Amino acid sequence: MPYIHEQPAWPDLTWDVSVLAAGLAAVRHRQGRLLGRMESLGFDLRTQAGLSTLTADVVKSSAIEGEQLDTNQVRSSIASRLGLGAAGLPTPARHIEGVVEMMLDAVRRAEDPLSHERLCAWQSALFPSGLSHLRRITVGAYRPATAGPMRVVSGPIGRERIHFEAPHADRLGTEMDAFLAWFNAPPAIDPVLKAGLAHFWFVTIHPFEDGNGRIARAIADMALTRADATDQRYYSMSSQIETERREYYLQLERAQRGTTDITPWMSWFLACLGRAVDRADEAQSGVLHKAEIWKRLADRPVNLRQRTVLNRMTDAFEGHLNTSKYAKLAKCSTDTALRDIRELLAWGVLAQNPAGGRSTSYRLATPGDLTTAEYSASP
């Protein structure tokens, strides 16, 4: 069977509304409940939830393509661009700044038209050195015919799996004109359906030598931002796709080999989105936990060192805390670190882990600890 873009009806993609109706209604209900819960929180909590979601989106979208980004650098870049505190976070690398720039442009300017120039700017931001896996690629422009056939693959180098072959470069101008005209037109379908369709359509065209998957997911997030009528992101579609990466590629491959009826792809996209919204409850719990930590400290003389370390521990921290880690994060001596830690223990926001001696370490107090623990004004 020919690829979908070789079908006579392409790009008139269709789907069975009766099959998708229940899934769409369920997703819209979940989105509404989540957005309602977030609106009931204060501005600071909503901002922190949005920061966590955007960080996950950037990190996981790159992970789908096999690129591992430093979470703390991503968070630092986003926080700086949004005017939030980034104390204690590392300076982000140039390529991370580019990925963040693309994602924020997609969701913060979601209502602005999508254009050839904007898409090319996104792709340039993804590859600031002009290299992809040490191979020079065309940056800031659609792939040239000289680049040869564009095959969509997954898997490690040497063991790639070919999912489909994209349209020839000679067709890109016409294909992208049609896509952009449709995307920028007043919505004729629910914006959530538009997100799923836009993702699939763009991936099928595959206009760039590299970066197509990340850009397709940014376009989908752009459409979902319009659907939510807010530029604050509280759920991460890319995180869920990364969790279901195998099925994601399988669904794309099947749709590429089928007819222009993409009901199965749209059905899977809606179900995946529903699971992404459900997972947002976990992130929300983390935000509420952070709020309880700071509420406990509202009348305490928290110094800048303690604030810096607690911000790291409530946002993005791997493993447990010890005095040497504290000293490094707070840029102080280990003696000062120990005094600070003892205060945080006395105030009930840190708890000591069972192991002692040289293995002594600490963790954030759990929500249960915060509810039941006694604490004093001084250690």
Reported as a single tens digit per residue, the pLDDT across 200-246 is: 999 999 999 999 999 999 999 999 999 999 988 999 999 999 999 99
Residue type, 290: K
- Same-domain check for residues 154 and 301: no
Contact 213, 64 (CB under 8 A): yes
Q: What is the pTM of this model?
A: 0.78
Whether residue 124 sits in one domain with residue 258: yes
Judge if 96 and 244 occupy the same domain: yes
SS3 readout for the chain: CCCHHHCCCCCCCECCHHHHHHHHHHHHHHHHHHHHHHHCCCHHHHHHHHHHHHHHHHHHHHHHCCCCCCHHHHHHHHHHHCCCCCCCCCCCCHHHHHHHHHHHHHHHCCCCCCCHHHHHHHHHHHCCCCEECCEECCCCCCCCHHHCCCEEEECCCCCCEEEEECCCHHHHHHHHHHHHHHHHCCCCCCHHHHHHHHHHHHHHHCCCCCCHHHHHHHHHHHHHHHHHCCCCCCCCHHHHHHHCHHHHHHHHHHHHCCCCECHHHHHHHHHHHHHHHHHHHHHHHHHHHHHHHHHHCCCCCCCHHHHHHHHHHHHCCCCCECHHHHHHHHCCCHHHHHHHHHHHHHCCCEEECCCCHHHCCEEECCHHHHHHCCCCCCC
Structure tokens at 366: 């759990």
Please list the residues that pair with 161 across neighbouring strands.
Answer: 154
Q: For residue 228, what is the domain's CATH number?
A: 1.10.3290.10
Q: Are residues 226 and 313 in the same domain?
A: no
Question: How does pLDDT run across 69-88, given as a tens digit for each residue?
Answer: 999 999 999 999 988 876 66
Contacting residues for 180 by C-beta, under 8 A, at least 6 apart? 114, 115, 116
- Which of 282, 309, 337 is where one domain is finished? 282
| Position 158 confidence tier, pLDDT thresholds 50, 70, 90 | confident
Same domain, 209 and 107: yes
Does some domain include residue 287? no
CATH (domain of 318): 1.10.10.10
Tell me, yes or no, whether 268 and 332 share the same domain: no
Tell me, yes or no, whether 99 and 157 share the same domain: yes
Same domain, yes or no: 301 and 278: no
Q: What is the mean pLDDT of the chain?
A: 89
Instruction: Give the residue numbers spanning the domain of 99.
Output: 4-282
220 within some domain? yes
Rounded to an integer, the average pLDDT of 36-59 is 87
In a domain, residue 288? The reply is no
Considering the domain boundaries, does residue 150 fall inside one?
A: yes
Averaged pLDDT, 48-67: 91
pLDDT of residue 354: 87
Residues 212, 174, 255, 236: is their CA dihedral positive or negative? positive
| 197 & 301 share domain | no
- Looking at the fold, whether 248 and 319 belong to one and the same domain comes out as no
Domain count for the chain: 2
Q: Are residues 96 and 21 in the same domain?
A: yes
d(CA 216, CA 29): 25
In a domain, 133, yes or no: yes
pLDDT one-digit tens code per residue, 320-361: 899 999 999 999 999 999 999 999 999 999 999 887 777 889
Ranking 40-54, 117-131, 167-181, 341-355 by mean pLDDT, the lowest is: 40-54
346: exposed, middle or buried (Cβ count in 10 Å: 0-12, 13-18, 19+) = middle
Query: Are residue 328 and residue 246 in the same domain, yes or no?
Result: no
Looking at 282, 313, 337, the residue that finishes a domain is 282
Q: Are 88 and 71 in contact (CB under 8 A)?
A: no
Fill in the amino acid letter for 369: D
Q: Is 309 part of any domain?
A: yes
Positive or negative torsion for Cα 139, 143, 144, 150: positive
Q: How far is it, in rounded angstroms, from Cα 127 to Cα 119?
A: 13
**Domain membership flag for residue 289:** no
Q: Does the residue 377 lie in any domain?
A: no
Boundary (domain end) residue, out of 221, 248, 282? 282
Cα gap 346→342, rounded to integer Å? 6
